[in-house]
Amino acid sequence: MSFSSYLVGSFEKRLGVLTQFQIINPTTQLLEIHAIFLNDSGVVEGCVRVELGPNALWETDTGKLADKLKTDYGVAKFFSLRDGEIKPGIVGVQRRLAAGPGHPVDYAAFAESNLAAVPEDISRDDYNYIGPMCP
């Protein structure tokens, strides 16, 4: 798995499922991460911007994002920027955690997958389209 400037995955909140995202900056550069969450129709529901230091990890989940996500499932997009420009520099995973007996604290099962890296030649056009929809 190589690092990218644009990762995509999906989120789920139905039936007690929680989706967790981990974004990793394996570089020695300070990056700005723009996380954009869309509903299943492609409408932006929420955005989060964070600085991610060298060799650092940022973690969030649908529980922490509940005030931004009005829908129960959708698309998650993560863009990596350096000095205001789209630049490769992130890898990421998503986990689906299924509610266990003590819901929502205990989870009975989970599935993990890498976030898909979108080709670099698409990153700038997609960010230029979707980025302005986020304050």
Q: Where are the domains of the chain?
A: 6-133
Q: What is the CATH number of domain 6-133?
A: 2.60.290.11
37 and 75 Cβ atoms separated by less than 8 Å: yes
Q: What string of pLDDT tens digits covers the 135 residues of the chain?
A: 578 999 999 998 888 788 999 999 999 999 999 999 999 999 999 999 999 999 999 999 988 888 888 889 999 999 999 998 999 999 999 998 876 665 555 666 678 899 999 998 898 899 999 988 887
The verdict on pTM exceeding 0.75 is yes
Amino acid at 28: T
Q: Which two tokens stand for residue 95?
A: 């986990």
| Torsion over CA: 47, 134, 91, 96 (sign) | positive
Q: What is the pLDDT of residue 1?
A: 54
Q: Is the peptide bond before 135 cis (omega within 30 degrees of 0)?
A: no
